[in-house]
Structure 1
Amino acid sequence: MNPTDGLPMPQRIGAIITIALGITMAVLDGTIANVALPSIATDLNTSAGASIWIVNGYQLVITMTLLSLSSLGEIIGYRRVYKVGLILFSGMSLCCALSDSLLTLTVARILQGFGAAALMSVNTALLRLIYPKSKLGRGMGINALVVAISAAAGPTVAALILSLASWPWLFAINVPLGIVAFTLAVKYLPANDTKGNRRFDGVSGVLNALTFGLFFIALTSFAQGENLTFVAIECIATLLIGTVFVRRQLSNPFPLLPIDLLRIPIFSLSICTSICSFCAQMLAMVSIPFYFQRTLGLSETETGFLLTPWPLATMITAPIAGRLIEKVHAGILGAIGLAVFSIGLFSLALLPTAPSYFEVAIRMAICGAGFGLFQSPNNHTIVSSAPRNRSGGASGMLGTARLVGQTSGTALVALMFNLFTTNGTHICLVTGGVLAVIAAIISGLRYKA
């Protein structure tokens, strides 16, 4: 079988299910613990502030290691990295469920983050091997759908599990799912041509981790209003280490940070579009629940219900966009989706004082529909514009762009809430709308790139 032609049926179906299971677990676990943090802190006899590291440690490790694991996938094989990621993620999920202290739970979550990073780093590179080139857009549509729904459904899934069981089951449920995914991976995932004579650049891996880690620590510190002297020191350290990191990549024929891919105009434009759009998404998704519960006085159940139209609309439009890529230029399709997304965000910012469920739901659906219409074409462009032997780097950059946007958006929410105590959500939504407009303009520029 020639991997450039994709997998034959039904092997393709098995491989798609494997990818979907892995990425669902990895993305879902980024938000699923948020709902249970108060009860976890109580059970483990720790403070609310200290318990935040259960979430932050997981996200930070993914961001710090994603590009390194993408590079490793090109050297030893995407399938191997994915299978190791499944084993580590599932094993550490069991350790999380059995944890009896904040220290053991935090360490298990950090190691679980390494597993999640392995899954995220190569999933789109594997899609390029699974699908024939003519149908890659459909695969990207399904992948975008899975990621969007997993990210948005975290609180709802957590609430459902917690209504039936205690918090350790939030992690224990990953174990049987991981076993199923690993069994399917062994049977269905394709192999890729590896570079046995190429060695992993460990120094670049360390510099990459320090650069991204310090950047997000500085961003979070500033958003939380911490001492500006310390924030300035963190920023300077980020710039110094980041400069050394980038200079090392410029002289490397196989850079960890794929600067060679960023020289491709349509690739770099797509990365910028992704960062802006995911930042806008998080500005909305993190701030809106506060508006629903603190301003409108809605319950957690009502909040979950009103958030649902967003992923539902994405569920409908993402696969449609995946098919439209075959007929409509991705830059134009993405620009249209982002324009619709911005309309949804601005309309949420202009909600009446006492909105009805329908008035909220229709605006959330507009946001989800626009985001779904944009994400599939953008992911397709990022992966397909890179040479096939650089699919790992493209996959890593796609995931890194998403994480940079999401983490920046979350930090901006904290900053807006600290600066605008009475109308923080309104400012977040307007800012998100502006970012979506900027992303739409950048996406449109890809038409001639």
Structure 2
Amino acid sequence: MSDTYTDGMPMPARAWAVATVMLAISLAVLDGAIANVGLPTIARDLNASPATSIWIVNAYQLAITISLLPLAALGEIVSYRRVYTVGLALFTVASLGCALSDSLVTLTLARVAQGFGAAGIMSVNTALVKAIYPSRWLGRGVSLNALIVAISSAAGPTIAAGVLSIAHWPWLFAINVPLGIIAFVIAVRSLPDTARASHPFDWTGALLSALTFGLLISGIDAFGHGQARWLVALEVAAALVIGTVFVRRQRTQPVPLLPLDLLRIPIFGLSICTSMASFCAQMLAFVALPFFLQDSLGFDRVQTGLLMTAWPLTIVVVAPLAGRLLEYYKPGLLGAIGLAAFALGLLALGLLPAHPHQADIVWRMALCGFGFGLFQSPNNYAMLTAAPAHRSGGASGMLGTARLTGQTTGAALVALIFSVSPSGLGTRASLFVAAAFAAVAAVVSSLRTLPAAQPGANSARG
């Protein structure tokens, strides 16, 4: 078992620990995107209807959503290392199960298990980053982690299309197995052990959390896919009722599973709001842009993929720079500048002429990538550093929950906008709405620079 370190890990142990954390989070995030591309092929092969095949995607997302916060809380009790390694092992085994599935039922069940494994990775990912890096270099570690998440999210469809062009759909999942084994071996040998809390695990709170977020995300997703309005209303109403009971119960807990203690810290609460709004804007754009480029502007699929590549490529350049800038500037300021640039890029995309030159699209995509890359690392850094060391698990879980909630909401909004907009106008409208969300996020981020939001302004920091 690895040693416990007080302020990060020394080299070369740190390099190995970073390698396994980054490899595993990239696999977990990628698997949330690659199944979307392979869905039509999988549905045909398994004789499933398009409507029922959606569960191949939903099962994975729901499993992650309902278990992120409970597993983050469990990590504070049994160690982040243990939750991570067990989650990675489950994810790897479940990936093999997905590859070997011969029916929609077995594939869906394997995806549920894979989602729980991915949640084990995601729930403690940033908490492990905080344990691996010395405090003076935490900004660089957070920026690298944000870079991997951003690239994995953006590159998922391209990677899936590449795999499907040379192999059958089971390879979308089978490729995870050798990579997962490598990451697991490195994790067991290199990850640091972390201090463990003495309080018991809140099983009732975990159940209420799972029901609240599961029903909420399911309702939002059902709304986006045009399911019966009475069913959507029932799911959202149930989520609100159970969520009210959950929050009231959490207020009585000394260490709440839903980190209400952290949300009372101004910088942490504002950073969560910023994260949700920005990821909502990102998903609005990611879902709408392929339709916009192909249906409205007349580009083919290959051209669309190449044009959109400017976005993640710019993030590759900007995210490490943002980590360095954190050593000199406040996260709220960097986040506000980045989100303002992101909003301008989205607005510029929405205002493209009917027959634009490819260069006109590329610089707009690059501006979006610049803005998002400059925002994400400072935002994650602000959340991690605002939380006390013993609550890093709660902070990590909320970070993942905010991202997933924002992305699910963004996807549902695109579906809604497409359904109510006149033919051909839905894609531009989605980009304008995305720009509005990014602008709101920029304003919220700027609030973190005010004196009332600074450390020490709220006693909840503790």
Instruction: Name the TM tier (shorter chain).
Output: over 0.9
Looking at structure 1, the residues matched to 264 and 382 of structure 2 have their Cα atoms a distance apart, in angstroms, of 14
Match in the other structure for 2:366: 365
- Given the alignment, which residue of 43, 61, 66 partners 1:41? 43
Match in the other structure for 1:413: 414
Deviates more, 1:63-72 or 1:219-228: 219-228
Is 1:181–2:183 an aligned residue pair? Answer: yes
The letter of the residue matching 2:144 is I
- Given the alignment, which residue of 113, 135, 139 partners 1:111? 113
Match in the other structure for 1:102: 104
Q: Deviations over 1:371-398 (max 9, x none)?
A: 0000000000001110000000000001
The letter of the residue matching 2:281 is A
- Given the alignment, which residue of 184, 189, 192 partners 1:190? 192
Compute the displacement of 1:235 (Å).
2.2
Looking at structure 2, the residues matched to 301 and 397 of structure 1 have their Cα atoms a distance apart, in angstroms, of 36
Match in the other structure for 1:385: 386
Q: How does 1:40-79 map to 2 (within 5 A)?
A: 40-79=42-81
Q: Deviations over 1:412-443 (max 9, x none)?
A: 11111111142111111111111111111111
The list of structure 1 runs, each at least 4 consecutive aligned residues, that deviate by more than 6 angstroms after superposition, is none
Deviates more, 1:220-229 or 1:105-114: 220-229
Looking at structure 1, the residues matched to 159 and 439 of structure 2 have their Cα atoms a distance apart, in angstroms, of 31
Compute the displacement of 1:93 (Å).
0.3
Q: How does 1:81-230 map to 2 (within 5 A)?
A: 81-195=83-197, 197-230=198-231
Is 1:303–2:304 an aligned residue pair? Answer: yes
SS of the residue corresponding to residue 36 of structure 1 reads helix
Cα contact 1:344–1:363 (8 A) shared by 2 = yes
Match in the other structure for 1:268: 269
Deviates more, 1:17-26 or 1:286-295: 286-295
The letter of the residue matching 1:40 is I
Is 1:256–2:257 an aligned residue pair? Answer: yes
Match in the other structure for 1:3: 5
Deviates more, 1:223-232 or 1:96-105: 223-232
Cα contact 1:67–1:400 (8 A) shared by 2 = yes
SS of the residue corresponding to residue 91 of structure 1 reads helix
Match in the other structure for 2:456: none
SS of the residue corresponding to residue 256 of structure 1 reads coil
Cα contact 1:224–1:418 (8 A) shared by 2 = no
Deviates more, 1:299-308 or 1:376-385: 299-308
Looking at structure 2, the residues matched to 2 and 102 of structure 1 have their Cα atoms a distance apart, in angstroms, of 44
Looking at structure 2, the residues matched to 235 and 403 of structure 1 have their Cα atoms a distance apart, in angstroms, of 17
Looking at structure 1, the residues matched to 188 and 220 of structure 2 have their Cα atoms a distance apart, in angstroms, of 40
Q: Deviations over 1:127-180 (max 9, x none)?
A: 111011111000000000000000000010011111111110000000000011
Match in the other structure for 1:292: 293
Identity %: 59
Q: How does 1:325-344 map to 2 (within 5 A)?
A: 325-344=326-345
Looking at structure 1, the residues matched to 315 and 300 of structure 2 have their Cα atoms a distance apart, in angstroms, of 24
Using structure 1 for the length normalisation, give the TM-score: 0.98
Cα contact 1:145–1:314 (8 A) shared by 2 = yes
Looking at structure 2, the residues matched to 232 and 162 of structure 1 have their Cα atoms a distance apart, in angstroms, of 38
> Tell me, which stretches of 5 or more residues in structure 1 are unaligned?
none
Using structure 2 for the length normalisation, give the TM-score: 0.95
Match in the other structure for 2:401: 400
Change in 2 beyond 3 A, CA 1:217/1:98: same
Cα contact 1:344–1:367 (8 A) shared by 2 = yes
Q: Deviations over 1:353-374 (max 9, x none)?
A: 0112111111111001100000
Match in the other structure for 2:439: 437
Looking at structure 2, the residues matched to 25 and 230 of structure 1 have their Cα atoms a distance apart, in angstroms, of 33
Compute the displacement of 1:2 (Å).
6.1
Looking at structure 1, the residues matched to 337 and 311 of structure 2 have their Cα atoms a distance apart, in angstroms, of 17
Cα contact 2:296–2:354 (8 A) shared by 1 = no
Residue-pair matches, total: 448
Looking at structure 2, the residues matched to 421 and 37 of structure 1 have their Cα atoms a distance apart, in angstroms, of 27
> Tell me, which stretches of 5 or more residues in structure 2 are unaligned?
454-462
Q: Deviations over 1:40-61 (max 9, x none)?
A: 1111111111111101110111
Looking at structure 2, the residues matched to 119 and 225 of structure 1 have their Cα atoms a distance apart, in angstroms, of 32
